[in-house]
Chain A
Amino acid sequence: MNRIGKHATPNRPTGKFSFGMFTFVICFLYTPLVILVAYSFNQSKMMSWGGFSLRWYSELFFNSESLWHSFGNSAIIAVTSATISTAIGTLGAIGFYWYRFKFKKLIRIAAFVPILIPEIIIGVSLLIFFAGIKLNLSLFTIFLAHTTFNIPFVLMVVTARLEEFDFTIIEAAYDLGAKELQTLAKVILPAAFPGIMSGFLIAVTLSLEDFVVTFFVSGRGSATLPLHIYSMIRFGVSPVINALSVIVIAGTVVLAVLSRNVVKYMFQK
Chain B
Amino acid sequence: MKKNLGPAYVAPITVWLCVFFVIPISIIVYYSFLTKGFNGGVVHKFSLDAFRALYNPTIFKITFNTFWVACVSTAVMVALAVPAAYYMARSRHKNFFMLLVIIPFWTNFLIRIYAWMAVLGNNGVVNHALLSMGLIDRHIQFLYNTNAVILVAVYTYLPFAILPLYSTIEKFDFSLVEAARDLGATKLAATLRVLVPNIRGGITTAVLFTFIPAFGNYAIPQIIGGSSSYMLGNVIARELTVTRNWPLASSISLVITALTTLGVLIFMRFNRSASEEARERAQDNAPMSAMPQVSAQSTGTGASE
Q: Which residues of A contact B (CB under 8 A)?
A: 1-3, 6-7, 9-11, 14-15, 17-19, 21-22, 24-26, 28-33, 35-36, 39, 46-48, 87-89, 91-92, 94-96, 98-101, 104, 107, 110-111, 113-114, 116-122, 124-129, 131-132, 144-145, 147-148, 151-152, 155, 163-169, 171, 174, 180, 190-191, 205, 208-212, 215-216, 225-226, 229-230, 233-234, 236-237, 241-242, 244-245, 248-249, 252-253, 255-257, 260, 267, 269
Q: In this complex, what residue of A is CB-closest to B117?
A: A237
Task: Please encode chain B, from 227 to 266, with 1 for each CB lying within 8 Å of some chain A CB and 0 for all others.
Answer: 0000001001100100000100110010011001100100
Q: Find out whether the CB atom of B208 lies under 8 angstroms from the CB atom of A167.
A: no
If over half of A's interface residues share one DSSP class (helix, strand or loop), that class is named, otherwise mixed; here it is: helix
Q: In this complex, what residue of B is CB-closest to A102?
A: B7
**8 extra A-B contacts, CB within 8 A, seeds A29-B159, A128-B246:** A36-B118, A101-B10, A118-B233, A118-B256, A121-B28, A124-B253, A226-B109, A233-B110
B174 interface contact, C-beta 8 A: yes
B173 interface contact, C-beta 8 A: yes
B142 interface contact, C-beta 8 A: no
Q: Find out whether the CB atom of B108 lies under 8 angstroms from the CB atom of A89.
A: no
Within 8 A of A (CB), among B212-236: 212-213, 215-219, 223, 233, 236
Q: Find out whether the CB atom of B27 lies under 8 angstroms from the CB atom of A116.
A: no
Contact of A88 among B12, B88, B249, B301 (CB under 8 A): B12
Contact of B119 among A32, A89, A256 (CB under 8 A): A32
Task: Please encode chain B, from 88 to 129, with 1 for each CB lying within 8 Å of some chain A CB and 0 for all others.
Answer: 111110110101111110111111111111110101110110
Q: Find out whether the CB atom of A167 lies under 8 angstroms from the CB atom of B295.
A: yes
* A8 and B99 alpha carbons, distance in the complex (Å): 20
* A17 / chain B contacts, CB cutoff of 8 Å: 83
Given contacts A39-B125, A88-B13, contact A211 B104 (CB under 8 A): no
Q: Find out whether the CB atom of A148 lies under 8 angstroms from the CB atom of B233.
A: no
Q: Find out whether the CB atom of A129 lies under 8 angstroms from the CB atom of B128.
A: no
Q: Find out whether the CB atom of B104 lies under 8 angstroms from the CB atom of A30.
A: yes
Q: In this complex, what residue of B is CB-closest to A74?
A: B108
Q: Find out whether the CB atom of A92 lies under 8 angstroms from the CB atom of B121.
A: no
Task: Please encode chain B, from 282 to 305, with 1 for each CB lying within 8 Å of some chain A CB and 0 for all others.
Answer: 000000100100110111011001
Q: Find out whether the CB atom of A25 lies under 8 angstroms from the CB atom of B107.
A: no
Q: Which 3 A-B pairs have the closest CB atoms?
A: A118-B216, A99-B6, A95-B9
* A3 and B155 alpha carbons, distance in the complex (Å): 30
* A226 / chain B contacts, CB cutoff of 8 Å: 108-110
Q: Find out whether the CB atom of B257 lies under 8 angstroms from the CB atom of A117.
A: yes
Task: Please encode chain B, from 199 to 218, with 1 for each CB lying within 8 Å of some chain A CB and 0 for all others.
Answer: 00000000010001101111
Contact of B173 among A7, A124, A252 (CB under 8 A): A7
* B1 / chain A contacts, CB cutoff of 8 Å: 98-99, 174
If over half of B's interface residues share one DSSP class (helix, strand or loop), that class is named, otherwise mixed; here it is: helix
Q: Find out whether the CB atom of B4 lies under 8 angstroms from the CB atom of A155.
A: no
* A26 / chain B contacts, CB cutoff of 8 Å: 100-101
Q: Find out whether the CB atom of B107 lies under 8 angstroms from the CB atom of A248.
A: yes
Given contacts A7-B170, A124-B253, contact A29 B117 (CB under 8 A): no
Given contacts A18-B84, A208-B108, contact A91 B213 (CB under 8 A): no
* A148 and B88 alpha carbons, distance in the complex (Å): 33
Given contacts A2-B301, A117-B257, A165-B302, contact A9 B92 (CB under 8 A): yes
Q: In this complex, what residue of A is CB-closest to B110?
A: A229
* B123 / chain A contacts, CB cutoff of 8 Å: 46-47, 236-237
Contact of B13 among A18, A47, A155 (CB under 8 A): A155
* A119 and B201 alpha carbons, distance in the complex (Å): 23
Q: Find out whether the CB atom of A236 lies under 8 angstroms from the CB atom of B208.
A: no
* A152 / chain B contacts, CB cutoff of 8 Å: 17
Q: Find out whether the CB atom of B83 lies under 8 angstroms from the CB atom of A22.
A: yes
Q: Find out whether the CB atom of B80 lies under 8 angstroms from the CB atom of A21.
A: yes
Q: Find out whether the CB atom of B83 lies under 8 angstroms from the CB atom of A18.
A: yes
* A96 and B5 alpha carbons, distance in the complex (Å): 10
Contact of B20 among A10, A46, A94, A144 (CB under 8 A): A144
* A46 and B100 alpha carbons, distance in the complex (Å): 30
* A11 and B23 alpha carbons, distance in the complex (Å): 53
Q: Find out whether the CB atom of B299 lies under 8 angstroms from the CB atom of A132.
A: no
* A116 and B261 alpha carbons, distance in the complex (Å): 8
Contact of B86 among A18, A100, A267 (CB under 8 A): A18
Q: Find out whether the CB atom of A29 lies under 8 angstroms from the CB atom of B104.
A: yes
Q: In this complex, what residue of B is CB-closest to A164?
A: B298
Q: Find out whether the CB atom of B237 lies under 8 angstroms from the CB atom of A100.
A: no
Contact of B88 among A22, A114, A215 (CB under 8 A): A22
Shortest A150–chain B CB gap in Å is 10
Shortest A95–chain B CB gap in Å is 3
A sample of 19 cross-chain residue pairs with beta-carbon separation below 8 angstroms, ordered by A number, consists of: A9-B91, A9-B92, A11-B92, A25-B80, A28-B80, A99-B9, A113-B21, A114-B17, A116-B261, A119-B213, A125-B28, A128-B27, A144-B20, A167-B288, A174-B2, A212-B219, A229-B111, A230-B219, A252-B106
Shortest B139–chain A CB gap in Å is 11
Contact of A32 among B97, B112, B217, B264 (CB under 8 A): B112
Q: Find out whether the CB atom of B302 lies under 8 angstroms from the CB atom of A120.
A: no
* A229 / chain B contacts, CB cutoff of 8 Å: 108, 110-111, 114
B3 interface contact, C-beta 8 A: yes
Shortest B218–chain A CB gap in Å is 5
